[in-house]
Amino acid sequence: MDGSVSVSDTITINVGGMTCKSCENTVHDAIISIEGVNSVTVSHESSTAIVQSNGTSREIISVAVKESGYTVDGLGLDFNWTDTSVWKQSARNTMWCLIGCSIGDFGTIAAFQFVFTDSGWSTMSIMILAVINGLLTSIALETLILSKQMGLYEGFKVAIGMSFISMVAMESSMNITDYLMTGGAMLTWWAIPIMLFVGFITPWPYNYWRLKKFGRACH
């Protein structure tokens, strides 16, 4: 059926970017608020929204899905860098990523700086371990948060599938900053705020782009 023709009864929309029950709820709420829509069944597993309506057009439903931050048939809204709500949401996502990464990263550096002072590990080895532990704690924190919504196993699957690029960029920028300011693998009261700022600001534009264009969050 031509997409421009109004439809009745049932229509299936291919929705991209959904990863969890929260995504399903967002898409559901966006569609059910449309006049003429009677019911909606959304599944992130099959990437579909099945809509029953009284003559609501496919275009109207598709626009509502795209405006909620997801794609329809692989297409989203025209990309721009001026969406304040997406900047705020991506900032929140980046913040949670930063918290998770910092726990493992800073914890590792502190352990070698204050406890295992005679470990014999090189500065580079400690920094590499800090990056790895930062990635692991970020995934662990997100799994814990998501497990309250969808269970531990499903939460882990979603967490492990989140933006690895964002986490690596964050970890790399923090540790490069540490190296340039202190020589590496060292925490000081004046370096930590700068490391956190750089770690936040570096992946934030990427997280905005990913969320705006594909409806996918790092966290």
Query: Do 107 and 18 share a structural domain?
Result: no
Q: Which of 24, 82, 95, 47 is nearest to 212 (CA)?
A: 82
Query: Do 114 and 37 share a structural domain?
Result: no
Query: Do 64 and 137 share a structural domain?
Result: no
Would you say 88 and 109 are in contact if contact means Cβ atoms under 8 Å apart? Answer: no
Residue finishing a domain among 72, 101, 119 = 72
What size, in residues, is the chain?
Answer: 219
Strand pairing partners for 16? 71
Q: What is the pLDDT of residue 7?
A: 44
Query: Do 59 and 88 share a structural domain?
Result: no
Kindly state whether residue 219 falls inside one of the protein's structural domains.
no
Kindly state whether residue 4 falls inside one of the protein's structural domains.
no
Domain that holds residue 98: 84-214
Kindly state whether residue 79 falls inside one of the protein's structural domains.
no
Domains in the chain, number: 2
Query: Do 194 and 88 share a structural domain?
Result: yes
Q: What is the pLDDT of residue 155?
A: 74
Query: Do 90 and 35 share a structural domain?
Result: no
Structure tokens at 160: 């492990």
DSSP 31-85: HHTSTTEEEEEEETTTTEEEEEESS--HHHHHHHHHHTT-EETTB-SPP-S--HH
Q: What's the CA gap between 205 and 208, in Å, rounded? A: 5
Query: Do 38 and 115 share a structural domain?
Result: no
Query: Do 36 and 56 share a structural domain?
Result: yes
Kindly state whether residue 58 falls inside one of the protein's structural domains.
yes
Q: Which of 158, 165, 167 is nearest to 135 (CA)?
A: 167
Query: Do 163 and 200 share a structural domain?
Result: yes
Query: Do 210 and 150 share a structural domain?
Result: yes
Residue finishing a domain among 72, 97, 121 = 72
Residue finishing a domain among 51, 72, 93 = 72
Q: Which CATH number characterizes residue 66's domain? A: 3.30.70.100
What Cα–Cα distance (Å) separates residue 8 from each residue in 11, 39, 61, 146, 200? 8, 12, 12, 36, 47
Query: Do 163 and 91 share a structural domain?
Result: yes
Q: What is the pLDDT of residue 86?
A: 80
Query: Do 98 and 174 share a structural domain?
Result: yes
* Cα end-to-end distance, the chain, whole Å: 38
Tens digit of pLDDT at every position of the chain (219 positions): 444 444 467 999 999 878 778 788 889 999 999 989 999 999 988 999 999 998 889 999 998 998 887 888 877 767 789 888 789 888 988 998 999 999 999 999 999 999 999 999 999 999 999 999 999 999 998 888 878 766 788 778 777 766 788 899 999 999 999 999 999 999 999 999 999 999 999 999 998 888 777 666 655
Kindly state whether residue 205 falls inside one of the protein's structural domains.
yes
